[in-house]
Structure 1
Amino acid sequence: MSAERPLIGVLALQGDVREHTAALEAGGARVLPVRRQSELADVVGLVIPGGESTTISRLLETFELLEPLRARLAAGMPAYGSCAGMILLAEKVLDGRPDQHQLGGLDMIVRRNAFGRQVDSFEEDLDFADIEGGPVHAVFIRAPWVESTSPTVRVLATVPETPTAGAAAGRIVAVRQGSVLATAFHPELTGDLRVHRLFVDIVRGA
Structure 2
Amino acid sequence: MAITIGILAYQGGISEHEYLVKKACSELGIECRTRWVTKKEHLEGIDAIILPGGESTTIAKLASRFGVLEELRDRIAKGLPAFGTCAGAILMAKEVVDRKTKKVLENPLGVMDISIVRNYYGRQRQSFEIHLEIPAIGPKPFRAIFIRAPAITRVGEGVETLARLDGVVVVARQGRMLATTFHPELTEDTRIHRFFIERVAKLV
TM over 0.5, shorter chain: yes
Q: Map Cα deviations across residues 57-78 of structure 1 (whole Å, 9 max, x no partner).
A: 1111111111101100110100
Q: SS in structure 2 opposite 1:185? A: coil
1:90–1:102 Cα contact (<8 Å) kept: no
1:92–1:102 Cα contact (<8 Å) kept: no
Deviation of the 1:102 alpha carbon: 3.2
Match of 1:106 in 2: 112
Alpha-carbon distance change, 188 to 180 in structure 1, aligned in 2, over 3 angstroms: same
| CA root-mean-square deviation | 1.8
Distance 1:99 1:126 in 2: 29
2:95–2:105 Cα contact (<8 Å) kept: no
Q: SS in structure 2 opposite 1:42? A: coil
Gaps of 5+ in 1: 160-168
Q: Map Cα deviations across residues 14-48 of structure 1 (whole Å, 9 max, x no partner).
A: 11101000000111132111111111122110000
- TM-score (normalised: structure 2): 0.89
Question: What amino acid is the match of 2:167?
Answer: G
Match of 1:125 in 2: 131
Match of 2:53 in 1: 50
Question: What amino acid is the match of 1:42?
Answer: G
Distance 2:196 2:19 in 1: 14
- The one of 152, 171, 174 equivalent to 1:174 is 171
Distance 2:155 2:105 in 1: 23
Question: What amino acid is the match of 2:175?
Answer: G
1:94–1:109 Cα contact (<8 Å) kept: yes
Deviation of the 1:205 alpha carbon: 4.4
More displaced stretch, 96-105 vs 77-86: 96-105
- The one of 38, 42, 60 equivalent to 1:39 is 42
Deviation of the 1:170 alpha carbon: 1.7
Deviation of the 1:104 alpha carbon: 2.4
Deviation of the 1:204 alpha carbon: 3.3
Match of 1:72 in 2: 75
Q: Map Cα deviations across residues 138-172 of structure 1 (whole Å, 9 max, x no partner).
A: 0000000011111210000011xxxxxxxxx1211
Deviation of the 1:98 alpha carbon: 7.9
Once superposed, which parts of structure 1, at least 4 consecutive aligned residues long, lie more than 6 Å away?
96-99
2:144 aligned with 1:147, yes or no? no
- TM-score (normalised: structure 1): 0.88
Q: Map Cα deviations across residues 103-145 of structure 1 (whole Å, 9 max, x no partner).
A: 2221010001101145330211111132014111100000000
Match of 2:29 in 1: none
Distance 1:20 1:99 in 2: 28
Q: Percent identity?
A: 42
Question: What amino acid is the match of 1:91?
Answer: K
Distance 2:106 2:13 in 1: 20
